Amino acid sequence: MEEPDSPRELHGFKLWGYNLGYFGLYLAILLESVFMLQYYVYTINLDSILVSTGVTVQLIISAFSSIVFGVMIDNKKPGKLGKRRLFLLYALPIWFLTGILLWLPPTYCPENNSFHWPTAVFLWIVLIVKGVSGTSVLVAHASMLPEQSQTLENRKKVAAVGTILTIIASILSILIPLIVQSILADPQNVKWWDPSGQIILFYIPIVGTGFALFAVISITITFFSVDESFHKISSNTKQEKRTIRDTFQQMIDPVRDKKYRRYIYAVLHMTVSNKIVGIVIIPFITYVLLFIGPLYFIYIAVSTVCKFAWYVFWRYALKKYDLVKTASLCIAFSAIASFCELVFLIEILSFEFKIVLFVITFGTILGSIYGYGLFSGPLISALIEEAADKIEGMNKTQTVYRISGSYFGLSTFIGSIGPAIGSIIIGLILTGPNQANPMIITICLVSAGFFYSISCVYLWLIKLKKSEGTDYE
């Protein structure tokens, strides 16, 4: 491939258009991540074990699918419409359809049978098909970045915009369902046969369909905003084909990298905790804090203010202090805040004290979760550059281009395995009457601190030669 006269970068419409696609997808995915278990367990009446089993299988299959689609996209011969961006559209209709069907199960679980297999099998099929089709779009979107943005500073800019949009998506994905929760007369009794449950059954499918439609529009905008005309320069160049077996073999190399192996362990434990927090938050504010009506908007206020406030803080810290230590501190804050949730087990606490504690602890957790997006890209890039420096016989640009796919691929793979573990843990714990037990729900939230602590230790053990990466030579 011929090198361009100057590095490609994303600015203006291209910058926002590229990030908008992920924003739309993430909005719909977050709604599923945060509210789907709540919807099927507390309203459809399906046992949490069956729900978490479906989520776990979806995440594991998606992890392997990301490798398969990555190979397919890499091996695609560029055409008139480009190479990678075409994969944004191929599976999008299937993903959109399953995004609607997810909220419209044909049967509900009987009042005396939470292990209703027709409902469970329907959910599993929809989740698997949705996961595979969504992975096709996500992998295509992510794999475009190294080609669309070729300088470290521009990738930081892309990451900053992406993090802001991710925060907005996280707020919207919980805001709409909580608006529905706030109009319920009895939010603790929302089974499909209850009056409050009937309200959820009416509004949530509308919300899910709206989010899925917005994601389709966003991805379409991304398709037209990115430019892959540079592939024409190398269209006659012989392309090296890869097989799925080759890809898995290439993923072994990052595992052998001691520093990157520590990073992967950190990602694994961090994503377990993130999944636990995402699943447990609505049951926590419903059965532990006993929110009802307008009180649900306290969470929205905490979520909005703290995410943006911590984003500003961590972005400032990233500019001033060591990358690894700042990233470790970010996760350490989440761990400490999670352990502080133990105080909620004290029954004599006043409501006002609980609210203050909730603002401090959960606000810190949310701020750290979404602030970490500022560190992940630069940290992976720095680790890849260090690995490239150890390989002889190729210049740095060629080496990074050759190994970055396996490094990012392994990170994506582990990023799906972690949530799968978190999902099955919570599914096993919140089965039966435990789903409404305040003590059990609180302990689940506290358990996230254990995994955050392990993640923090692994991050702290990473020693970079440089605090920040440099542009390729």
Tokens of 463: 């020693």
Domains of the chain: 11-234 (1.20.1250.20), 244-468 (1.20.1250.20)
Can you list the alpha helix ranges (DSSP code H) found in 285-395? 296-320, 323-340, 351-371, 373-389
State the Cα–Cα distance between residues 395 and 385, nearest whole angstrom: 11
**pLDDT tens digits, 434-462:** 888 999 999 999 999 999 999 999 999 98
Looking at residue 457, its pLDDT comes to 95
State the Cα–Cα distance between residues 186 and 182, nearest whole angstrom: 9
Average pLDDT for residues 96-106, to the nearest whole number? 95
State the Cα–Cα distance between residues 330 and 162, nearest whole angstrom: 18
pTM (two decimals):
0.80
CA atoms lying within 13 Å on the CB side of residue 464: 24
pLDDT band at 272; cut points 50, 70, 90: very high
Residue 466 pLDDT exceeds 70: no
Percentage of the chain exceeding pLDDT 70: 87
Residue 54 pLDDT exceeds 60: yes
Higher pLDDT, 279 or 238: 279
Looking at residue 79, its pLDDT comes to 67
pLDDT band at 8; cut points 50, 70, 90: confident
**Which of helix, strand or coil describes residue 82?**
strand
**351 to 27, 296, 357, 444, 468: CA distances (angstroms):** 32, 14, 10, 21, 45
pLDDT band at 472; cut points 50, 70, 90: very low
Report the range of poorest mean pLDDT among 19-28, 73-82, 344-353: 73-82
**Nearest residue to 177 (alpha-carbon basis) of 157, 199, 158:** 199
